[in-house]
Chain A
Amino acid sequence: MAQQAAAPNSPCAGCHRAQTAHQSETPMARALLLAGSNPTLDAHPNLVLQDGAYTYRIQTRGDQSIYNVSDGTRTVSVPVRWTIGEKMETWVLERDGHYYESRVSYYPIINGLQVTVGQENLKAPTLDEALGRELDHAEVRNCFGCHSSGTVANGVMNLARLQPGVTCEHCHAGSSEHEIDAFQGVFDSAPRDLKRLSAEQVSNFCGQCHRTWATVIRLGIRGVLNVRFQPYRLENSKCFNGIDRRISCVACHDPHVPLVHEASSYDAKCLVCHASQTSNTAANQHVNAKACPVAKSGCTGCHMPKVKVSSPAGILVFTDHEIRVNRPEDPYPD
């Protein structure tokens, strides 16, 4: 079994036990899996998809997985070294010094392979092109920059330094130096204290990988597809306030622990501002938060509706982070 993000064993755990105890179980820690550490491939040792003239087969034996694509007469085979994504899995493939986003991905909703989102309309006239979409240098760097740690420094990618997934150092740059200094009783080199960030700064920080509001605007990503970019959606919310830490990514999500799926667990976050008709004025001068006239629980069920996005494998469901009064007849606000 290859090394995976393992915060409990990380040097940081000595002092930051609470933050590291469950970090390895988070989706971010598992944002990239190395060969031999992918439970999906272990559980499905022979994944197959026929897509037009090509047959895709991902075969796993022991610690090795091989991605094969065949046109019936010839087969191209490359080892699966990097799995990107914790639920839907796509593979970054390397062949003759070039990198490719795999043409097919694993979708949990069908428990099998289908064409990767975004490649539905890409033609593959040759077997070599059927392998996947070739990534340019910047795309490769961006993939590994977000899905792994230590790989990219000052714009230079070095896969020899790759640590899979998001580790402490990924967000807390300089934590390695801090660890060495801390053992000697020196704390001047402590990483930037992210707790001091404003809501807007948190949004931009998380948005480095989850896409900032500005990035989505620049890229012109409109329609339901931008539901995937939570910082953008959150900042569109009427209640978002750049300086109020009660409405930010980390106000609801602790990045050090697994994602909480129970909707009721988020009620308290909303009620901090929306508790009653009178509490809000004293609570924060920037927010004039009305109390909900309908309910005092299950807030996200109405105000953060589920949005359906079609994919080659079927409908994927995302939670919309644009918090709003949602009426069924309203179009998706993009």
Chain B
Amino acid sequence: MRTIAIIGVLTGICFIALPSTAQETTPFSDLVAQAAAASEQNNVPLAVELYSKALKINPNWVQGWWFIGFLQYNDGQFAPARAALTHFLDFGPDPQGFALRGMCEFETGEYSDSLADIQRGLSLGAADDPRNEEALQFSEAMLLTRLGKFDQALRSYVYFAQRQVLNQDLLLAIGLAGLRMPLLPRDVKDDQKPLLISTGAAIYAFMTREPKAGAAFDTLFQRFPSVTNLHYLYGALLYPGDPYAAQEQFQAELKTVPSNTQARIMIAWTLLMRNQPDEAMPYAQEAVRAQPDSASAQLVMGRSLSETSDPAAGLEHLKRALQLDPDNLEVHIALASAYSQSGQMADARREYVWCQEATKDGRNRLALP
């Protein structure tokens, strides 16, 4: 097993990726040389001051903004580092620039911006180095959890299970995503850690297809019988392979926590997948009543109506779901069907094409709605 090397590795690689000195002897090049020397001696305040002076002479010196951002990030000055990196990125997109600015925003608590920047960095190739990749994937998964995108976070953590990366911090973070707690690991109280680490370990066992994963969950249910989302979590993991077993877990969750809307949504969903829209309807109705701004609740309500009594009303719920979550594949699939059923073939065709475009990479998206 390996452990995750975070941030220091990332910034180190970013730093090496750029030239550090100017060639000619001018006031500007003197300042740059002095700044580089200060940086070598870990004198961050002086290095930043000298780089700033150089940038006053030549504000278009792109690397200068990078050096300041990098030094300030390493010195824990995240807000000014973010500002310097924003200047750096004004000159054009750069994978490491987005990644490091995302890391700054992670520290300053600007989580949405941080996630957007890290994901942009990843998409541009910031993770080409495997060590960078682990750090960025971990940050992305933690941010997804913090922002309430728990299912996406769990899918991101599969990356680590596939590579057999394992440590307590990772298990804690996976546990947070699994129990749908919008926190970062650093915000977890000590008394919550045993539950979260044990949950993370059970999820990890499931992700690595360990035969004992089921037993690990049974132990969790015995140790923590009243914890919210524990049965839901196991159901969500079981769902792609065995929706019937998943349904039992969602029902168990409702017994434990009768107010759990997400469990209701998934019960409705599994019934819809089994062509039982009449049975799904009451669960969908309660879900949409409890959480009208949930795209998933609107989706199951829309499908239940479309497939039973009132296709027109169903279509309206599906359109609402689309407003709430424009990139949700299941919403587009449901809309394609609903439009087709109502004879609106141009709209149906648009949704068919959207779904095919969204899945053209051939990846399995057999996941939760």
Contact = CB atoms under 8 A, between A and B. Distances in A.
B187 interface: no
Chain B binding site: helix, strand, loop or mixed by DSSP?
Answer: helix
Nearest to B365: A218
A220 B361 contact: yes
Contact of A136 (B241, B352, B355, B361): B241
Given A217-B356, A241-B340, A222 B365 contact: no
A328 interface: no
B308 interface: no
A195 interface: no
A241 B329 contact: no
Interface stretch (B2-10, B229-237, B315-323, B342-350): B342-350
Nearest to B332: A217
Interface in B335-367: 336-337, 339-343, 345, 348, 352, 355-356, 359-366
Given A198-B341, A242-B348, A243-B341, A217 B275 contact: no
Nearest to A240: B340
B110 interface: no
Interface residues of A, number: 28
Contacts of A217: 329, 333, 355-356, 359, 365
Nearest to A216: B359
Contact of A222 (B245, B343, B360): B360
A218 B240 CA distance: 11
A219 B364 contact: yes
B242 interface: yes
B244 interface: yes
B343 A242 contact: yes
A200 B364 contact: no
B242 A243 contact: no
Contacts of B362: 220-223
B321 to A, nearest CB: 15
A243 B244 contact: no
Nearest to A219: B364
Given A204-B275, A214-B337, A219 B343 contact: no
Contacts of A198: 341
Contacts of B275: 204, 208
A286 B242 contact: no
A155 interface: yes
Contacts of B360: 222
Interface string A75-108: 0000000000000000000000000000000000
A328 B341 CA distance: 33
Contacts of A241: 340, 343, 345
B242 A137 contact: yes
A213 B332 CA distance: 12
Nearest to A236: B352
Contacts of A141: 244
A204 B343 CA distance: 16
Given A214-B333, A217-B356, A220-B364, A155 B343 contact: no
B341 A200 contact: yes
A235 interface: yes
A138 interface: yes
Nearest to B344: A242
A242 B340 contact: yes
A220 B352 contact: no
B247 to A, nearest CB: 8
A204 to B, nearest CB: 7
Contacts of B329: 217-218
A236 B343 CA distance: 15
Contacts of A219: 364-366
A305 to B, nearest CB: 19
Contacts of B361: 220
Contacts of B241: 136, 138
A200 B242 contact: no
A304 B89 CA distance: 52
Contacts of B343: 241-243, 286
Contacts of B348: 242
Interface string A193-222: 000001011001000100001100111111
Contacts of A218: 329, 333, 359, 364-366
A137 B245 CA distance: 10
B360 to A, nearest CB: 7
A200 B340 contact: yes
Nearest to B361: A220
Interface in B200-217: none
Nearest to A239: B345
Contacts of B355: 217
Interface string B235-267: 000000111110100000000000000000000
B272 to A, nearest CB: 11
A235 B352 CA distance: 9
A138 B242 contact: yes
Given A136-B241, A235-B352, A242-B337, A220 B359 contact: yes
A220 B243 CA distance: 19
Nearest to A286: B343
Nearest to B248: A155
Interface of B: 241-245, 247, 275, 329, 333, 336-337, 339-343, 345, 348, 352, 355-356, 359-366
Given A155-B244, A217-B365, A241-B343, 11 more contacts: A136-B242, A137-B245, A138-B242, A141-B244, A156-B244, A214-B337, A218-B359, A220-B361, A221-B362, A223-B362, A242-B340
29 contacts: A136-B241, A137-B242, A138-B242, A138-B244, A141-B244, A155-B243, A204-B275, A208-B275, A213-B352, A217-B329, A217-B355, A217-B359, A218-B333, A218-B366, A219-B366, A220-B361, A220-B362, A220-B363, A222-B359, A222-B362, A235-B340, A240-B340, A241-B340, A241-B343, A242-B337, A242-B341, A242-B343, A242-B348, A243-B341
Interchain residue pairs A-B with the least CB separation, the first 10? A242-B340, A155-B244, A138-B242, A222-B362, A220-B362, A214-B333, A242-B341, A243-B343, A220-B363, A220-B364
